[in-house]
Amino acid sequence: MAKPLVALLSGAGISTDSGIPDYRGPNGLWRRDPEAEKLVTYEYYMGDPEIRRRSWQMRRKNRALAAEPNAAHRAVAELERSGVPVRVLTQNVDGLHQVAGMPARKVLELHGSVRSVVCTACHARGPMEDALARVEAGEDDPPCLECGGILKSATVMFGERLDPLVIGEAVAISKACTMFLAVGSSLQVQPAAGLAQVAADHGARLVVVNAEPTPYDDLAQDVVREPIGTALPRLLRDLAAEHSG
């Protein structure tokens, strides 16, 4: 892979304009409601059929599947189309970067994707829509069609480790980039947050776009506190203009 010019780490803040709440943050649903957190905790999910049934009902109501990309997602895709080499490293599981037009091969989903399911036994994958159709048809805990194993969302649950291959590729991109944009991320969840440090250590220009202060603001050349939906498109248009010039 050619060395990327721009690495963009996106967190929950980039998707709130699309109507997706921040579940994982310090004030997110999973932290406020221990019972809700159990629905996305691997140990409980695997050990309790009732938890799985409730999880499937929660997925039926998940707004991420119906959400549309917002101006920030579209701006990232437009930057890539302008010819600037871009790699997206996202903590989000909503798939909105790809829906907005970013090529899937240029998006690393650090925490997986809510748009797919995976079998915990044989690791077969399939579309979430197909599994939800089975739930709608009356299966309250649909098993894997390949082996009968337990199906789960292809997201990283509490108690699961991130894919080391994905993290390895994210580190390589962070080392290679010349600019690292951290957008809508509190930069508090490791190892994703540490990618900003890796990029800075390897000479990248670090830009933080986030409503609240982050632990990496002191490392950043630029810190932007304005709303992401207006600030990011402007930043990326300027970047594209610099590149074309």
Question: Any idea of the CA torsion for 98, 8, 174, 196, to the nearest 10 degrees?
Answer: -140
pLDDT in the model for residue 29? 58
Render pLDDT for 6-57 as a digit per residue (tens, 0 to 9): 999 999 999 999 998 765 555 555 566 667 888 999 999 999 999 999 999 9
pLDDT in the model for residue 37? 84
Render pLDDT for 61-85 as a digit per residue (tens, 0 to 9): 887 788 999 999 999 999 999 999 9
Taken in order of first residue, the domains within the chain and their CATH numbers are 1-20+69-111+162-245 (3.40.50.1220), 23-66+113-155 (3.30.1600.10)
pLDDT in the model for residue 25? 54
| Strand stretches in 93-194, DSSP E | 107-109, 112-119, 125-127, 151-155, 179-183
- Per-residue confidence band for 3, with pLDDT thresholds at 50, 70 and 90: very low
Strands 179-183 vs 107-109: parallel, antiparallel or unpaired: unpaired
pLDDT in the model for residue 2? 45
Backbone angles phi, psi at 208, to 5 degrees: -110, 120
pLDDT in the model for residue 243? 76
Give the catalytic positions in this structure: 111
Rg for the chain, CA atoms, rounded = 18
pLDDT in the model for residue 1? 41
Query: What token pair was written down for 231?
Result: 């600030």
What does the alpha-carbon distance between residue 50 and residue 140 come to, in Å, rounded to a whole number? 9
Q: Which residues pair with 6 in a beta bridge?
A: 86, 179
Backbone angles phi, psi at 120, to 5 degrees: -75, -10
- Per-residue confidence band for 140, with pLDDT thresholds at 50, 70 and 90: very high
Tally the residues of the chain: 245
3-state secondary structure of 43: helix
3-state secondary structure of 102: coil
Cα separations (Å) of 2 from 5, 86, 87, 153, 219? 9, 10, 11, 32, 26
DSSP 93: -
Render pLDDT for 156-202 as a digit per residue (tens, 0 to 9): 999 999 999 999 999 999 999 999 999 999 999 888 899 999 999 99
What does the alpha-carbon distance between residue 34 and residue 31 come to, in Å, rounded to a whole number? 7
